Amino acid sequence: MKNICVLVSGGGTNLQALIDAQRSGEIKNGRITCVISSKPNAYALERARDNGIKTRVIARAEYNDIAAYTKAVTDALIEENADLVVYAGFMTILDEQIVKAFPNKMMNVHPALIPSFCGKGFYGLHVHEEVLKSGVKLTGATVHFVTAECDGGPIIMQRAVEVKNGDTPEILQKRVMEQAEWKILPASVSLFCQDRIRVENNIAYITGE
């Protein structure tokens, strides 16, 4: 059974999707053992507590620089014996220390089809604002391994979602979450826990299909 640690900063709907998937048995060979938040008041913490999952707060605001903050998060994950680290709406870009400690053992859900609308500055609602400004007709979500390059790691799973006339960033965000993020994140976590993701030359392959 793999220990899954989830990093959060906000509402935690992706965490909720993982909790629901765990409850329904969709996540095979893994369980959420700890939720770590960069913000003390993140609603995601309540979701974890309501489900009897251990929580820790490592507040970004209490650290002077990203190196010290990354070290604190890395140390906590080592202490928790994390086998898999999931960034689920975690809004801080950590430095390469953590990638060295957990190579191809961290995954992130991004609310667009990478390599579009990603990288520094593309997070949360901003992503959907940029999608709407650009006029693309398809967007979606991506789950990828975390490497030193922001949103640049091997892609595990993607799902496309339609952009519709009259969409606001909020409406589009909700559709992307419902139709893509909440589905591909638990599915990717389950594949990882079953050792069914192999990475070669920066490309992820799903095995045993």
Pick 2 or 128: Cβ nearer ligand GAR: 128
When asked if residue 188 is in the footprint of ligand GAR (CB under 6 A), the reply is no
Out of 10, 30, 153, 154, the only residue in the binding site for ligand GAR (CB under 6 A) is 10
For ligand GAR, the closer of residues 38 and 190 by Cβ is 38
Does an H or E element contain 166, and which?
none
Give start and end residues of each alpha helix (H) in the chain: 13-24, 43-50, 66-79, 96-101, 125-134, 169-176, 182-193
How is residue 144 written in tokens? Answer: 């990828």
Burial of 181 (0-12, 13-18, 19+ CB in 10 A): buried
Could you say which of 30, 111, 140, 186 contacts ligand GAR (CB under 6 A)? 111
Question: Nearest CA to 189 among 62, 27, 8?
Answer: 27
Quote the least distance from Cβ 106 to ligand GAR, whole Å: 13
186 counts as binding ligand GAR under rule CB under 6 A: no
Which are the contacts of 72, defined by CB distance < 8 A and separation ≥ 6?
A: 58, 63
Residue 110 falls in the annotated catalytic set: yes
CB of 127 to ligand GAR, least distance (A): 6
Using an 8 Å Cβ cutoff, are 21 and 190 in contact? yes
- In the complex, the smallest distance separating the C-beta of residue 46 from ligand GAR, rounded to whole angstroms, is 12
Q: How far is the CB of 209 from ligand GAR (least distance, A)?
A: 25
152 touches ligand GAR (CB under 6 A): no
Phi, psi at 78, each rounded to 5°? -65, -45
Catalytic positions are 110
Q: Which residues make up the interface to ligand GAR (CB under 6 A)?
A: 10-14, 44, 88-89, 109-111, 123-124, 127, 177, 181
